[in-house]
A = this chain, B = another copy of it.
Amino acid sequence: MADKRSVGILIFPEVEVLDFCGPFEVFASARAVGGTDRFFDVKIVAETDEIVSCRGGLLVKPHVDFENTPNFDVIVVPGGAGTRVAKDNPAVLDWIRAQNETTEITTSVCTGALLLAAAGLIDDQPVTTHWDAFDELWGHYPHLQLKSDQRVIDNGHIVTSAGVSAGIDMALAMVERLLGRTLAEQTARGMEYEWAG
C-alpha cells in the first residue's frame, strides 16, 4: 500500500450530514478486492476538537483540530447551512488555503464551493454547487462560471460537486482518477450505489 493517501474532511457547525458522510463512506471503504487494507486514511477535521453539531443535530467528534492537522493529500470541503457562518471565519478560510498549497486534490461538495470561493481558490474556472445556491454564489462571486449540467466538475487540482449526494459521485470520481475505474466501480458496488459516473 505504498500509495496510501490521507484525506481530510472538514466539518463545522450545521454542516450537511450527507455532504461529508458520503465522501467519508467512499474513501473509507475503498479497498482491494478480498483485502482489508485501505487505500485512504480518512480524518475528520474541525477548528477545535470539540464535538460538532451537524445539520439535524448529528454529533460528530473530530479526529484532529486545525492546529494539529498534517498536510492532507486530499481535502473535502462540504456544505450546508453552516457555510454562511464558516465563510466569514478566518480560521476556516486560512486552513483551507494552507492545505490547498500542498494538496494533490482540493474538493468541495454542495455549498462547500462558497468556502472555496471565500478562500480565493476558485475564480473563473467552471465549478458547481447545490442547484438552490447558484444565485447566492453569483451574488457574492459574479465572476464564477457556475455549471448546472454536471454533478462533478474536475479541474485537476480543484474539484467541485453539486448538492449533498453528489459528494458520493465526486469521491468515486476521485477514486477512479487516483486508483482506476475497476476499483471505483467495485467501491460503488460495495455501497450498492447506482453510480452514473
Task: Give the interface of A toward B (CB within 8 A).
Answer: 16-18, 21-22, 24-25, 28-29, 38, 42-44, 51, 55-63, 130-132, 151, 162-166, 168, 190-194, 196
Contact = CB atoms under 8 A, between A and B. Distances in A.
Contacts of A132: 190
B131 A25 contact: no
Total copies of this chain within the assembly: 2
A192 B168 contact: no
Contact of A193 (B24, B25, B164, B191): B164
Contacts of A17: 21, 24-25, 28
A151 B194 CA distance: 11
Contacts of A24: 17, 56, 58
Given A18-B25, A25-B56, A60-B61, A165 B192 contact: yes
Contacts of A194: 165, 194, 196
A47 B43 CA distance: 25
B29 A58 contact: no
